Structure 1
Amino acid sequence: MHVHVTVDQGGWQPAPGPEPGSRWWQRIRWGYNLALAALSLTLAGPWGALLASVRDEESLAGAWVMAVIPLIVLGYLDNARRVEAAAAHPDLWTPKWRAAAMRLLLWAAALGTVLTLPITTLVYALTGVMPA
């Protein structure tokens, strides 16, 4: 029986990496988002009515374009305001209020779009029936 022992003396061992942070679904503030979603319903109704009138009078594609562009812009601004609030001093309230206002507008646009366009689009796609 032969035993070979190798000792590596290549230098210092690297320091272990930092502990992984919490996952994205663990960082969601459920109460905050549910409260803003409920408050946004007052704005989602008029936005949905506007999208429905565009859908009925102009075209379904036009209503989707009209819905998606503000969603993209509000999503970008929501992310920017959220980062601004996270980087601000904890005693400053203005960045937090701006982030909450932007999230409220994003919820309103998303809920107004979801409550107005997808079902109609599905019905049009499945039946082929378009409004007269």
Structure 2
Amino acid sequence: MIVGDDGATRARSFGELVVAIEGFAARLVSRGIRRGERVAIAAPDPEYMVVATLGALRAGVVPVVLPDPSGRSPEVWRAEATEVMRATEAQRVIRPSTRGSLPPLGEVREQLIDDLGEHPLGPVFLAPAAL
């Protein structure tokens, strides 16, 4: 069960979650993000955060979770996120293209990944050698 910021709930089976995680991991690899690389995750909602974090781990990427922007001014959130990225040496930000409540981070390299559903080629299970 996934509870959104607005309180709405949505059910996702374990199998659907696995497919979403594998698909997200495959998208990271296809964008040239390498095993061991640190990437910041800017998530506008809990479902995106879960899938992006577990997808990053599945791809061998080190996820750095940025602070939740809720209740913060864009300037304060940007300063906090920039400090987290500096401290962790994360070089990229992964976020959906629809920012929602996420202000831009400026000169940071962003990877836009929207779809948390099924991978366009069907379920993709990454072999250890691909990671």
Higher Rg: 1
TM-score by length of 2: 0.26
Q: Which has the higher helix share?
A: 1
Q: TM-score, normalised by structure 1?
A: 0.26
